[in-house]
Amino acid sequence: MPRVSEDHLIARREQILVAARTCFLRNGLHNTTMQDLIAEAGLSVGAVYRYFKSKNEIINAIAESVAGGITALLQEVSTREPAPPLVEALSEVFDAINVQVGENGNFPLAVQVWGEATLDPAIREIVRHRYQGMREAYVTLARRAVERGELAPDTDVEAAASVLFGLIPGFALQRLFLGHPDKDTYLRGVRALLNPG
């Protein structure tokens, strides 16, 4: 199909990325061959190489998109009016994390991307940027919690944000590798520490 609409081009790209995600999730970034990915997309070798000039370019595109959903949620929750209580905000985020850890979720793929980020500077930069964005949402969350008196007025907002943000991968990894705790238990733990003896 020559001389094709721009929409078609974008759709093809998306089709390839969807197939890539499926394959990477099933077999990993490295064990997935271009043949696998091409078969999954239902395209030919030539077609795929028209839209991405290498496997690495596909991996980068996946790395860019893998945390998109969570990032968007964080930005929404952290700027919502009126600001939800801290524990309520965390609860919503944990719900989203649970989905990503579960069947067909993106979290296992994100873990693979982290591994790649320890080696490849381009992917490292992508991950750093995403991580930065997520953390900034937590700074907003913490700042507003101080403003409305949920946290002490002299709280170091940056420090508190780091800890709150740190709870997320801590939760996700336990879910992924141990299968527990569930969200409510984890939140109970957070509350317990927020109100120590």
Question: Which residues of this protein are in contact with its own copies, per CB under 8 A?
Answer: 27-31, 108, 111-112, 114-119, 124, 127-128, 131-132, 135, 146, 149-153, 155-156, 158-171, 173-174, 176-178, 180-181, 185-186, 188-190, 192-197
Site string for DNA, 2-41 (x = CB under 7 A): xxxx---x--x-------------------xxxx------
Rounded-to-integer distance, Cα 72 and Cα 171, Å: 19
> Which residues are CB-contacts of 174 (< 8 A; sequence separation ≥ 6)?
180, 181
Helix, strand or coil, per DSSP, at residue 22: helix
Taking the chain, what is the end-to-end CA distance rounded to the nearest angstrom? 70
Q: Quick check: 183 binds DNA (CB under 7 A)? A: no
For residue 49, the partner it binds in its own copies, DNA, none, with Cβ less than 5 to 8 A by kind, is DNA
Burial class (CB in 10 A: 0-12, 13-18, 19+), 85: exposed
Q: Which of 22, 55, 71, 169 binds DNA (CB under 7 A)?
A: 55
